[in-house]
Structure 1
Amino acid sequence: MAEAEKYLDLPLEDVLGDRFGRYSKYIIQERALPDARDGLKPVQRRILYAMFQDGNTADKPFRKAAKTVGNVIGNYHPHGDSSVYEAMVRMSQDWKGRNVLVEMHGNNGSIDGDPPAAMRYTEARLSPISRELLRDIDKNTVEHIPNFDDSIEEPVVLPAMFPNLLVNGSTGISSGYATDIPPHQLGEVIDAVLMEMDNPHCTVDDLMTVLKGPDFPTGGIIQGKDGIKTAYETGKGKVVVRAKADIEEVRGGRKQIVITEIPYDVVKANLVKKMDEIRFDKKIDGIAEVRDDTDRTGLRIVVELKKDADPDGILRYLYKTTDLQVSYNFNMVAIFHKTPKLLGLKQLLQAYIEHQKEVITNRSQYELAKAKDRQHIVEGLIKAISILDEVIATIRASKDKKDAKHRLMEQFRFTEAQAEAIVTLQLYRLTNTDVTTLEKEAEELQAEIKRLEGILSSEKKLLSVIKKQLKNVKKTYNDERRTVIEEEIEELKIDLEVMVPSEDVIVTVTKEGYVKRTSPRSYSASNEDPPGMKETDHLLFSQELNTTNTLLLFTKKGYYMFIPVHELPDIRWKDNGQHISNIVQLDMDDALVQAIPVTAFSDDYYVIFFTKNGMIKKTLLSAYQAQRYSRALVAVKVKEQDEVVNVDVTNGENEIFIGTNKGYGLRFHEAEVSPVGQRAAGVKGINLKEEDTVVNGVTFAETNSKNTDIIIVTQRGAMKKMPVTEFEPSTRAKRGLVMIREVKSNPHHIHGLTLLQNNAADTLIMQTEQGSMFPEKPADLKRSDRYSNGSFVVDTKTNGAVTDIWKEIDYQNLTGNNTSTSS
């Protein structure tokens, strides 16, 4: 009877945890991270070892890459051929590794990001320096373990006669760990190893006198020595890497920017494309052409400039906005004692030195055993020649080889090894000269044994062997440093007035979030028609600005978008604008409440925020100058149930008026509100009754209060105009005064509030539930006191209640009206 099946009843989280733990351990130790000793990941080590075993070395002809890939997969690395081939190709790319470990014939990719040719077309062999990684691997220098099917053995680590991890660097992402170790200059790394061996107590500062910093194969300029030092001390750090660019003068007085080295790991084709897009989109003025003149003589990107362009300003802009300058983040994680560790420079050097001590010790033990074995044989041969006639007679009297060996061991006390050597000795070796040769060899072997025993018994002699090897590697393979290192990171200040062509444009922003800039010519050709927008939309802002100005767009959720006017899409007056979410990321349920143009971010101006729940916040305008503006930034901290209803700019001397839905109005001086930081929530502006909300908050000049009217509109279609002097100046956080007569049945609720200054000819648009719109000029209304209900201007029985109001923007008189904030 078959044995009953057994099932283990285990919690799912335990099973998942166990399986993921095993997977993570494998990925970390056996795939994505390099070993601190030889600087290689398992796939790289297996490729080099397979090529070495196959005799595919630098002194032999090239062989098909497919053959090597097949050997690696079949013998050592049972994974996909593409992963093996990609690793092999990367080791051959001289723009990825500082000293390539594989030489390749054929297309092995390019710095433009082109893929390599298929492995059946390319040929490869080990590079000369790879010999140093594999040197003496056949002398028991490193541990070997069985391969995946136990058919042959493979090395756990390579002997690595130079510190490959620092020389070629490494990058990889595993489970829970990532690594980014930059390449370095071979001679400098070896000098650092020698310094560490001579003085184990040396500091990172001492080491940096010889190891200046990373040395990228693509050259370029590294800025920020402090970042390098931090990385060498802790394993993590950040530097700036920028392209090498020169400004050259060409015929006709014109200039061009010539780039001959680009940052490490930047795809050249993408960089050229990005720079050409800047030219095409006219984000800056002065670039005539961007072209790639790279050929077999070297990398060369040329940015042709227009005659009066500012080359330094354009170069700074390109550094700031393209991959002509990038940040490099050190994250020096490697496998050390079978564990992933974040290692500083000293730890990496010590790991390498510790490995070399083990390698040289193992090699010396192997060579010592070989020398002693040979010494024993030589002693036997010398003894045999001294009694040659007797030895020959004994051999001749023997039946066979076995019998001869036995008799020699019995009669003359030779060991088995010596007897074997004697019976296999060739007759020509029995001459007198060979006795002297054997005696000379015996002396040499004695000296070699003494040397090897000295290495094994003395740490100092062991280190001197390592030093000698490293100096030989440096002498053979050293080259010049390619990357220049500068002390400080240069701050990139962009003068937009120089960079951006100064021209006047009409900027429009709609309530639904569509923005554009339009040339005055397109505007003039429109016969003063309304700008293009959806039927359901209306203008939030329309004004003539300059391309050197900035537009701040504020949203109801308390965010703001910083948009230089020159970066707004250039669209005809009659066409719809582009939605703001295509320019800056914005939440789906967020909406614009205000647009404020800025000429200069001065400390003389403040931004004031009003929220639905009665909060008010005042912050310096300069706090809203953004360096990076690819997404919406926090303008004011807003609680969940709250939202911004208005944003205004003041000079610090204005008065504030807040009106509520239930009909309360509060007037106070802005000095009541202390300035706070950009991300703060602000303070209570008005004390609200239950279920009451703020409709709007506005500011006005204290000196103009006699000529300032408050205009309110209710849901019942009533509009009322009253002088602001009806409200006595008070302090913030009060309830305020009633500004509409209370009616018991069907009371008025305020749905709109705005200011009318100097009885201007503003038009107010009221929208009802049915979508009908009613224009009204508040200037035509008579002034009322606080207790009246105003005049009914909309028939709400026919059209439904008033739901929204806004001040109509006069788009017919825009040109010549450039009045940005703080101008």
Structure 2
Amino acid sequence: MKNIVENLHDLPLEEVIGDRFSRYSKYIIQDRALPDARDGLKPVQRRILYAMYVEGNTADKPYRKSAKTVGNVIGNFHPHGDVAVYDAMVRLSQEWKMRHLLIEMHGNNGSIDGDPPAAMRYTEARLSQISTELLSDIDKDTVPFVPNFDDTDKEPAVLPARFPNLLVNGSTGISAGYATDIPPHNLAEVIDGVIMRMENPECTVEDLMRVIKGPDFPTGGIIQGIDGIKKAYETGKGKIVVRGKAEIERLRNGREQIVITEIPFEVNKAQLVKKIDEFRYEKKVDGIADVRDETDRTGLRIVVELKRDADAEGVLNYLYKNSDLQITYNFNMVAIHNRRPKLMGLTDLLDAYIEHRKEVVENRTRHELKKARDRKHIVEGLMKAVSILDDVIRAIRASKDKKDAKTRLMEAFSFTEPQSEAIVNLQLYRLTNTDITQLRKEDEELAKKIKELSSILDSEKKLSKVIIKELKEIREKYGDERRTAVEEEIEEIKINLEVLVGNEDVIASVTREGYVKRTSLRSFAASNLEDFGMKEGDHLLSAFEMNTTDVLLLFTNKGNYLYCPVHILPDIRWKEPGQHIANLIPVERDEAVIGAVPVKDFNQPVYLLFVTKKGMVKKTWLKNYQVNRYSKPMAAILLKEGDELAAVHVTDGTKELFLSTYFGYGLRFHESEINPTGVRSAGVKGINLKNGDFVVSGHPIEDERQTIVLATQRGAVKRMPLSEMETSSRAKRGLIMLRELKKNPHRNIGTAAVYDTDTIAVRTEKNEKVTVPVKEIRLGDRYSNGSFAFAAEDKGYGKQLWIERNGPVKAGGGQRASDLENQGEGEGR
């Protein structure tokens, strides 16, 4: 017990954990997850190949049960779980993962659909022919051997590798702090690159790319982006686009279909087919009628059947952009070099392989040279023995035993110990004239071989020639055509909106509190305006007859606009409440929708006209508000501190603008006084305001048939001819439209230019709506306060004014509006 206590150490927890984790990290980096830059293998892969080689489970022998190999690997070299070993073994046999299979397997070894392989007791395996090239000359002292995990055997630290396997088959793995993604390449191209590098060590990546075009995936496909390949080859990191191979076929019935025959590397085919079918089921893309996987033994084939008038190119582009039919492959070429993980470019990987191959060939040459010299020494002894054969026989016959015979030969005739051993073991039939001739011939051949091997060791140039010759043999034997095409540029994918959504006319509506929806014309026709679904206290701000391919622009009091393609609006019946715009595009809590503009074509020669509460006005071309990304609010106008957007309208630049203020001032001027500016501008001053005053309404005047209607917070409504408001110029105070009262004066809560057929609506502070037909309001001059439409003491003060217009009219952007269109509203204090 005392000895145990004395061996205890009091150490900080972080020091203990740090030490243990650093050991663990070093182990999984060096001995588990990352490949060696020389033979391109992880330890488990190397041990599997070596174990099969030792057991004679090679390409020229029958298949053996996979379980037997897994057992040998676990028992002798790799003390880990059988599942990990079998999974690694299976991967080496999967033709959609490996550019050149290192293991041949009988039975179910999984599929490109992600199906698991059969259990190891059901499958059989053996080394492939090309694997023998990785193991070639391993018995000639070419590579270092290290003790296995229990010191009962030895295993190679690296394989001789007669071809650059790391680039040919690639590798992927994740360890502590490091990950690797090295794509497979074409064997013939990589060998040509190695030869170029050996013949010209100063060659650049650009030179190498003349022979190594880029990755060559076993599943084929198309690579886009030579710049990404070049960057990856230079730095070890880079990005390329890989897309599947697809063609559009026209059928006899006039319809078209997309046929996919190659998919990107490491994409799960079944998941890809499922994803495409989800697009069809969820109607995310219009035009797909059916999706079928027709893959069989002849090859991969996915058929996307299209509807009769579908845009085949558009659907294909959508699949490229939104499914794994096109992916981004990121190079991260990390490998173990000199026992350390290193991010390596193409030249680094080639140099590491060339350096390794030189060591292997040098070691092999030394081994063969020693063997040749030893044999020549024996042959020389045998030839000498034959020349004095009678004396040799007498010496052997006089010996007591083999040992004594060897001693007599060495002493009497100066034979060496190996020569004496060979002589005493010589068979009698060899003592013929024919045999001496063969010995002389062998001696000459050995001398020639020794000279040749010595010259290889003495000359770097000859050593390189040997390596190049062997590489060319490998290229001739195993090289094949490139499967993956390489395109220089990354194609920009453009998708027409018609491809994404069906062409349907709908009613798009938005309420004052920001609830939006689209409603089918059938649902709208079956209802009436009083049945519109909305929350209590809310009211309809705008409703437009639009198409699902159109865009609805919503503008907020904070000067932002929300870009809403009609097809993304929730499809909800006319009688049911809509969905808040914040569910589609995030807006702030105090941000309110103040206007809506429907757009069919952004290239129309029209402007958006903005009016703010502080009297600023701005005019900007509509086309400037078209965007491709609309996941958040975007600035429509630059507002000054404390200012808010009051109104926005579509105009052609030929109209007059009428502004009205809370204190009852009105200003009429031509919009030509407002020069067009950009989106992020503040505009110019429209009206000169008194202290405490603010703009409540601003809108264009359509024609001289309109009259001006104004409502006050006390419930009064007045109407006056346009002629009462003379045309002036901008930035003026304007004309007073309400008679000043010393006690409880009237304040303007909204002004609008209306037709006789319109109806105005006033919302009270008690959230009640009071409607008044325009033709029932008596015309007066601008000095009157109008007549009371409701009693303030009964219904509270007036808060908002808007128009309820009957009959379809032209809305902004050239659309037909529904029975309701907001034309101007204000909010009193």
Normalised by the shorter chain, which TM-score bucket?
A: 0.7 to 0.9
- Matched to 1:169, the amino acid is G
Q: CA deviation at 1:453?
A: 1.5
The aligned counterpart of 2:632 is: 632
For residues 331 and 484 of structure 1, the distance between their equivalents in structure 2, rounded to whole angstroms, comes to: 21
Aligned to 2:112: 111
- What is the distance in 2 between the residues matched to 1:109 and 1:23? 32
CA distance in 2 between counterparts of 1:647 and 1:333 reads 59
Equivalences for residues 312-331 of structure 1 within 5 A: 312-331=313-332
Please say if 1:6 is aligned against 2:9.
yes
| Pairs within 5 Å for 1:601-612 | 601-602=602-603, 604=605
Aligned partners of 1:611 and 1:104: how far apart in 2? 75
Quick one: which amino acid aligns to residue 6 of structure 1? H
Q: Is residue 645–residue 697 contact of structure 1 (8 Å, CA) maintained in 2?
A: no
Contact 1:727/1:737 (CA < 8 Å) preserved in 2?
Answer: no
Q: 1:314 & 1:171 partners in 2: Cα distance?
A: 33
The 1:59/1:545 distance shift into structure 2, 3 A limit, reads: same
Q: 2:70 & 2:791 partners in 1: Cα distance?
A: 82
| 2: CA distance, partners of 1:559 / 1:218 | 48
Change (3 A) 1:761 1:169: farther
Q: Secondary structure at the match of 1:162?
A: coil
The one-letter code matched in structure 2 to 1:98 is R
* Higher mean C-alpha displacement, 162-171 vs 284-293: 284-293
Matches of 1:74 and 1:663, distance apart in 2: 96
Give the AA of the match of 2:105.
Answer: M
Matched letter for residue 335 of structure 2: A
Displacement of 1:299 in angstroms is 1.5
Report if aligned partners of 2:244, 2:263 keep a CA contact under 8 Å in 1.
yes
Residue identity over aligned pairs, in percent, reads: 58
Partner SS state of residue 109, structure 1: coil
- Matching residue of 2:190: 189
Aligned partner of 2:821 in structure 1 is: none
Per the alignment, residue 700 of structure 1 pairs with: 699
Change beyond 3 A, Cα 1:674–1:544: closer
* CA-CA distance at 1:670 after TM superposition: 10
Change in CA separation of 1:9 and 1:239 when aligned onto 2, cut-off 3 Å: closer
Return 5+ residue gaps in structure 1 as ranges: none
What SS does the corresponding residue of 2:146 show, helix, strand or coil? Answer: strand
SS of the equivalent of 2:41 reads coil
Aligned partners of 1:567 and 1:216: how far apart in 2?
Answer: 38
Q: Structure 2-normalised TM-score?
A: 0.80
Say which SS state the counterpart of residue 112 (structure 1) adopts: coil
**TM-superposed deviation, 1:452:** 1.7
Q: Give the count of matched residue pairs.
A: 805
Q: String of CA shifts for 1:324-383, please: whole Å, max 9, x gaps.
A: 333333333333334444433333322322222222222222222222232233333333
Residues 501, 567 of structure 2: 8 Å contact kept: yes
Which piece of structure 1 moves more, 348-357 or 643-652? 643-652
CA distance in 2, matches of 1:333, 1:202: 22
- What SS class does the counterpart of residue 253 from structure 1 fall into? coil
Aligned to 2:101: 100
SS of residue in 2 equivalent to 1:49: helix
What's the RMSD between the two structures over aligned residues? 4.9
Q: Which moved more, 1:349-358 or 1:334-343?
A: 334-343
* Structure 1 residue aligned with 2:824: none
CA contact (8 A) 2:687 2:733 kept: yes
Q: Hey, what's the Cα distance between the residues in 2 that align with 1:153 and 1:72?
A: 13
Q: What amino acid is aligned across from residue 109 of structure 1 in structure 2?
A: G
Deviations 1:657-678 (A, max 9, x none): 999999999999798798456x
Deviation readout 1:646-692 (Å, 9 max, x if unpaired) = 78465595899999999999999798798456xx6969989999x99
Shift of 1:131: 1.7
Shift of 1:296: 1.4
Distance 1:208 1:5, change over 3 A: closer
Q: 1:160-559, aligned counterparts within 5 Å?
A: 160-497=161-498, 500-509=501-510, 515-528=516-529, 530-532=531-533, 539=540, 541-552=542-553
Distance of 2:614 and 2:159 partners within structure 1: 69
Pairs within 5 Å for 1:555-634: 562-575=563-576, 577=578, 586=586, 593=593, 595-602=596-603, 604=605, 621-628=622-629, 631-632=631-632, 634=634
Relative distance call for 1:9 and 1:264 in structure 2 (3 A) is closer
Note the C-alpha offset of 1:726: 11
| Deviation larger for 400-409 or 660-669 | 660-669
SS at match of 2:366: helix
What is the distance in 2 between the residues matched to 1:618 and 1:749?
Answer: 28
Q: 1:660 to 1:818 in 2, by over 3 A?
A: closer
Residues 1:215 and 1:393: Cα distance change in structure 2 (over 3 Å): same
Contact 2:677 2:683 in 1 (8 A): no
Q: CA deviation at 1:545?
A: 0.8
Query: What is the CA–CA distance in structure 2 between the aligned matches of 1:662 and 1:725, rounded to whole Å?
Result: 16
The 3 A distance-change label for structure 1 pair 342 and 578 is: farther
Residues 421/763 of structure 1: CA separation in 2 closer, same or farther (3 Å cut):
farther
Q: C-alpha separation between the residues in 2 aligned to 1:38 and 1:489? A: 33
How far did residue 709 of structure 1 move?
A: 6.4
Kindly state the Cα deviation for residue 449 of structure 1 after the two structures are TM-superposed: 1.9
Relative to structure 1, is the Cα distance of residues 670 and 424 closer, same or farther in structure 2, using a 3 angstrom cutoff? farther
Q: Judging changes above 3 Å, is the alpha-carbon distance between structure 1 residues 499 and 432 closer, same or farther for their aligned structure 2 residues?
A: same
State the shift of 1:520 in Å. Answer: 1.0
Distance change (3 Å), C-alpha of 1:818 and 1:55: farther
* Residues 704 and 319 of structure 1: CA distance in aligned 2, closer, same or farther (over 3 Å): same
Per-residue CA distance 1:54-112 (angstroms, 9 max, x = gap): 33322223333333334434444444444433333332222222222222222222222
Secondary structure, counterpart of 1:252 in structure 2: coil
Q: Residues 133 and 809 from structure 1, CA distance in 2 versus in 1: closer, same or farther, beyond 3 angstroms?
A: farther
SS in 2 for 1:275: helix
Distance 1:710 1:359 in 2: 97
The Cα of 1:411 is off from its aligned counterpart by 3.3
C-alpha offsets along residues 451-488 of structure 1, whole Å, 9 cap, x if unaligned?
Answer: 22222121111111111111111111122222222333
Does the 8 Å CA contact 1:656/1:697 hold for their aligned counterparts?
A: no
The one-letter code matched in structure 2 to 1:462 is L
Instruction: Give the conservation status (yes or no) of the 8 Å contact 1:721–1:790.
Output: no
The answer to whether the Cα contact below 8 Å between 2:112 and 2:269 also exists between their aligned partners in 1 is yes
Amino acid at match of 2:226: K
Distance (Å, rounded) in 2 between the aligned partners of 1:142 and 1:625 = 65
Matched to 1:700, the amino acid is: H
Question: How many Å apart are 1:179 and its aligned residue?
Answer: 3.3
Look up the match of 1:155.
156
Looking at structure 1, the residues matched to 18 and 704 of structure 2 have their Cα atoms a distance apart, in angstroms, of 71
After superposition, the C-alpha distances for 1:512-567 in whole angstroms (9 at most, x for unaligned) are 76654332122212355634555576655532111221234567888766443345
Distance 1:698 1:749, change over 3 A: closer
Q: Normalising by structure 1, what TM-score?
A: 0.81
Is the partner of 2:62 in helix, strand or coil?
A: coil
Q: AA paired with 1:368? A: L
SS in 1 for 2:447: helix
- Secondary structure of the 1:154 match is strand
- Give the distance between the partners of 1:675 and 1:365, measured in 2 at CA: 82
Task: Indicate if the aligned counterparts of 1:605 and 1:621 stay in contact, CA closer than 8 A.
Answer: yes
Asked if the contact 1:602–1:822 (Cα under 8 Å) also holds between the matched residues in 2, the reply is: no
Cα distance in 1 between the residues matched to 2:137 and 2:36: 19
Give the Cα separation in 2 of the matches to 1:503 and 1:776. Answer: 34
